[in-house]
Amino acid sequence: MKEKNKGKVGVILILFGMLCGMLSFTSCQPEKGREKLPYSMLFMTTDGQQYIWQAEQLDTGTIDPVINGALLDRPAKIWYYMLVRDGFYYFVDSKTEYLIKGKIQDKKFLRLDSVYLEGFSYPDNALFLDDRHLFIVNHSVGRKKKRYAKINVQDMRVHIDELALDAPAGPFDNMSVGFVYKRGEQLWMGYTYHYTNSEMGYGSADTVYVAQFSYPEMKLLNVDKDARSTYPGNVNTAQQNTFEDEKGDFYFMSAPGIVRGANPQQPTAIYRIKAGEQHLDTSYFYNVSDSQIHNHAYGMWYLGGNKAIVRSERKDLFRDYKEHYLLPHNEFYEIDLLDPSYSRKLDLPLDRGSSRTCVLVEGDTAYITINDGKGNNDVWLYRTKDQHLEMGLHIAGNIDYIFRLERLHTE
C-alpha cells in the first residue's frame, strides 16, 4: 500500500513540475525559492497621494506606480521619513507618535506592528545600528535636551532617554542632530543650534558640533567644534550626506544653505573622521561652495576610489524657500574627495525637490532619479568607469516627486 501511494505521489509531482514549466517557472516556485525584489521606490502624485513600488530592475522599461504600486492610505503623507530595512518599512505616524512597521503584500501596505514613541512626532535623524536595532533622534522641541529612542524592530521593544548634549540657550531655541554614525563601541553625532523668531526668522549657529559617545552606555566622551561651517549632516531621512570609504574614513557634509541651516554666508563643506581616530580631522576641509560647484549642496553619495556625487542647488534659479522645493534647479557633480580642483558636472536634466533620497550606488553604476517638473520622471544610469550616462527606468503617470530609491534588502 505504501509503495502504491509513493508511486501516485511521484506522478503528481511530475505533472506539477510540467505545469510549472508551461505556466511560469517563477510563479510556481515555492515562496522561499523566489528571488527577492531588490529595489524600493516611494512616489508622490500631483494630487498628493503616495505609492510604493518594489522594482525588479532599474535599467530599462516603464512603470506606473498608480496602477501597479501600493497606495499609502494611512496616513496619506509621510513625505520622506519612510525607512526601509530587510523588506520591511518603518515610519513614525506624526499624529499618534507610533513607530509603524509594515510591508507590501498584494499591492497593499500592511501594518504589522507598532510601538509608542512619546515626543517623536518626526524623526530628526535615524540609523539602523544593526539588523535588529533602529536608533532615532527626536525632532527639536524648544529649549529642551534632545532625546533618543533605541527600538528592537523584531519585538518592537523601545528604550527612550535623553542625550547628554547641552540644550539650546541664549538666542537659540532649538537644535538639530544632523547625523548619527556608529563605529565599533563609539557613536558619533553631528549637531548644531537654531533660532526661530519673528524678527530674524529661522537660522543656525555658525558652528559644527560633533559629539562622541560610548556605546551602548551612551556616555558623552567628547565634543569637537568647528566654526568654518554649520549644520553637519542635515536630515539623513531626506537624502544621504554621510558615508564611510574603503579605508574606513568617515565623511559628512554640512548644510548651511537655505533649506537646512539657513546660514548661507557659511560654505557647504565636507568633513572627515579618519579610521582609528577619535576626533575630527582638522587638516581636512573640502569647501564645496568655493569649488567649481560654487553653490550650496545637500546630498552626497560615495562612488568609490575617492570619488563622490554631490547634489547642489542653482541659487540663480530660485528666489526663496518655497521655490527651492518647487522649481527644477538641482545639479549633480562628480567630485574627488582628495582633489578639490576636480569636479565634473553630470549632463542630466535639472532636478527638483529639496528632500529626496535620489541616488543609489551599486558597483560601477550610480542610479540617479530625476523629476524635472515637466512630467519627465526617470532613473538615469551613470557608469562610473567610463563616465557614461544613459536613461534607464521611466516612471509614467501623474507622478510629482520620486521621494526615495533604495535597496529593499540589506546584503
User: Is residue 283 predicted with pLDDT exceeding 90?
Assistant: yes
Q: Taken in order 182, 186, 187, 189, is the CA torsion positive or negative?
A: negative
Q: Can you count the helices (H) and strands (E) in the chain?
A: 4, 30
Specify the pLDDT at position 20. 39
Asked whether residue 155 is assigned to any structural domain, the reply reads yes
pLDDT, position 74: 64
Q: In what order do the strands lie in the sheet with 331-336?
A: 297-304, 307-312, 331-336, 339-345
Q: What is the pLDDT of residue 142?
A: 87
Of 379, 377, 367, nearest to 398 by C-alpha is 377
Say whether pLDDT at 380 is over 90: yes
Q: State the cell numbers at 158.
A: 523601545
- The residues pairing with 339 across neighbouring beta strands, listed in sequence order, are 336
Is 230 inside a domain boundary?
no
Range of the domain at 108: 81-163
Nearest to 67 by CA among 47, 53, 48, 85: 53
| Mean pLDDT, residues 375-389 | 96
Query: Mean pLDDT throughout 280-296?
Result: 97
Whether residue 14 sits in one domain with residue 87: no
Tell me phi and psi for residue 65, to 5 degrees. Answer: -60, -30
Task: Tell me the pTM.
Answer: 0.90
List, in sequence order, every residue forming a beta bridge with 299; answer none if it has no partner: 311
Residue 329 lies in a domain: no
Average pLDDT rounded to a whole number, residues 10-28: 38
Within 8 A by CB and 6+ apart from 382, the residues are 309, 346, 365, 366, 367, 368, 388, 389
Would you say residue 332 has pLDDT above 70? yes
Q: Which residue is it, cell 579618519?
A: 274
The span from the CA of 189 to the CA of 187, in Å, is 7
How do 62-63 and 388-395 pair as beta strands?
A: parallel
What secondary structure letter does DSSP report for 167? P
Evaluate whether residue 328 is within a structural domain: no
The percentage of residues in the chain with a pLDDT greater than 70, rounded to a whole number, is 90
Mean pLDDT of 65-90: 84
* Triad 403, 386, 37: Cα angle to 5°: 40
In a domain, 125, yes or no: yes
Residue 15 has pLDDT above 70, yes or no: no
How many CB atoms sit inside 10 A of residue 248's CB? 12
Q: How many angstroms separate the Cα of 5 from the Cα of each of 15, 17, 31, 266, 339?
A: 15, 18, 26, 80, 73
Last residue of a domain, one of 135, 163, 191: 163
Specify the pLDDT at position 3.
Answer: 43
Confidence of residue 78 (pLDDT cuts 50, 70, 90): low
Respond yes or no on whether the N-terminal peptide bond of residue 30 is cis (omega within 30° of 0). no
Burial of 17 (0-12, 13-18, 19+ CB in 10 A): exposed
In-domain check, residue 50: no
Question: Are 85 and 29 in a shared domain?
Answer: no
pLDDT band (50, 70, 90) for residue 7 = very low
pLDDT of residue 36: 72
What does the pLDDT average to over 9-31? 37
Among residues 142, 163, 184, the one where a domain terminates is 163
Does 157 lie in the same domain as 88?
A: yes
Residues 159 and 100 in one domain: yes
pLDDT exceeds 80 at position 212: yes
Which of 121, 144, 163 is the last residue before a domain boundary? 163
**Band of the pLDDT at 237, cuts 50, 70, 90?**
confident
Report if residue 396 sits inside a domain: no
Question: Can you tell me the distance from the alpha carbon of 53 to that of 40, in angstroms, rounded to the nearest whole number?
Answer: 6
The yes-or-no verdict on residue 23 having pLDDT over 50 is: no
Work out the mean pLDDT of the chain and round it to a whole number. 90
- Determine the Cα–Cα distance for residues 83 and 87; give it in Å rounded to an integer: 10
CA distance 369 to 360: 9
d(CA 68, CA 87): 18
Mean pLDDT of 316-342: 95
Q: How sure is the predictor about 27, in pLDDT bands with cuts at 50, 70 and 90?
A: very low
| Domain assignment of residue 116, yes or no | yes
235 or 186: which carries more pLDDT confidence? 186
| Tally of domains in the chain | 2
